[in-house]
């Protein structure tokens, strides 16, 4: 069984202080995909940011203290690729992909548009440029698992207050339509929903108004997989026993070997 985690840490140094690495050491997951590093390579040199028995790959943003993705893997990949070939993904450290031969696993941090129209425009541009890449991936022989923070809740079931958020970034009609196209036309699969169709399953909560305590959340973190892997999805978990950031770790088990 292959266990893959997606964790937006909202700063790896901050999450480490909250016990993230102690928990990861106990869990012994096979592949750990991190988003929002908020640190450069030299700031993560200390042993505290390494995991015994894991290969580590970092892709920080050029701008200090911002964005960035990483991947920790028990098995050494055949190769690791960073970036998607366009400026926003590459300069902001938003994508890293490990090729294991039998499967490719990637960590993605899609931009947020919640801070205003300018960032929403950046998010929309990212979506426009990323879709053709995903369409190519769908035709590749090697199956693909791309996990991470997509900053979009897909359906009404995926956020608590969907009625009042229809004009807010993260639940805009065109963002949701982008996921519709990805799932319904390109053929990728929302792995979590294959094994868990329950409501009130969220991965992110605002820091305002006791949202976490009241479970007023959004499901914006995903495992999106090639159709060939749909039958391999066995179990999903949103880990909430400890809180390392404003996101919860999203872990899926696959009937696969690297």
Strands 2-8 and 31-35, bridge-based pairing: parallel
Mean pLDDT of 6-18: 98
Provide the mean pLDDT of the chain.
97
d(CA 61, CA 36): 9
pLDDT score for 152: 98
pLDDT score for 147: 98
> What is the number of other CB atoms lying within 10 angstroms of the CB of residue 250?
27
pTM recorded for the entire structure: 0.97
Q: Is 42 helix (H, G, I), strand (E, B) or coil?
A: helix
pLDDT score for 233: 98
For the chain, the domains span 2-254
Q: Is 163 helix (H, G, I), strand (E, B) or coil?
A: helix
200 a catalytic residue:
no
Sequence-distant (6+) residues with CB within 8 A of 254 are 1, 2, 3, 4, 145, 229, 232, 233, 234
pLDDT score for 32: 98
pLDDT 10s digits, 107-150? 999 999 988 899 999 999 999 999 999 999 999 999 999 999 99
pLDDT 10s digits, 161-175? 999 999 999 999 999
Q: Which fold is adopted by the domain 2-254?
A: Deoxyribonuclease I; Chain A (3.60.10)
Give the pLDDT band (50/70/90) at residue 208: confident
Q: Is the dihedral of CA 149, 206, 192, 165 positive or negative?
A: negative
pLDDT score for 115: 86
Which one of the listed residues 48, 52, 149, 255 is annotated catalytic?
149
């Amino acid at each position: 069984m292959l266990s893959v985690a997606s964790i937006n840490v909202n700063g790896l140094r901050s999450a480490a202080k909250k016990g993230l690495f102690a928990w990861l050491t106990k869990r012994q997951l096979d592949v750990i995909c991190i988003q929002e590093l908020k640190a450069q390579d030299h700031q993560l040199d200390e042993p505290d940011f390494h995991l015994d028995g894991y290969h580590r790959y970092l892709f920080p943003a050029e701008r200090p203290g911002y964005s960035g993705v990483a991947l920790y893997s028990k098995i050494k990949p055949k190769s690791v690729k960073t970036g998607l070939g366009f400026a926003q993904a590459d300069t902001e450290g938003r994508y890293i992909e490990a090729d294991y031969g039998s499967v490719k696993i990637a960590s993605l941090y899609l931009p947020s548009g919640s801070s205003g129209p300018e960032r929403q425009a950046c998010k929309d541009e990212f979506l426009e440029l990323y879709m053709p890449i995903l369409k190519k991936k769908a035709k590749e022989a090697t199956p693909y698992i791309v996990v991470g923070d997509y900053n979009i809740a897909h359906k009404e079931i995926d956020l608590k207050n969907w009625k009042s958020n229809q004009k807010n970034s993260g639940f805009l009609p065109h963002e949701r339509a982008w996921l519709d196209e990805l799932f319904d036309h390109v053929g990728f699969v929302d792995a979590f929903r294959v094994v868990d169709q329950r409501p009130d399953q969220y991965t992110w909560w605002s820091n305002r108004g006791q949202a976490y305590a009241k479970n007023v959340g959004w499901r914006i973190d995903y495992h999106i997989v090639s159709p060939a892997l749909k039958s391999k999805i066995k179990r999903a978990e949103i880990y909430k026993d400890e809180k390392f950031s404003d996101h919860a770790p999203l872990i899926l088990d696959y009937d696969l070997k690297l």
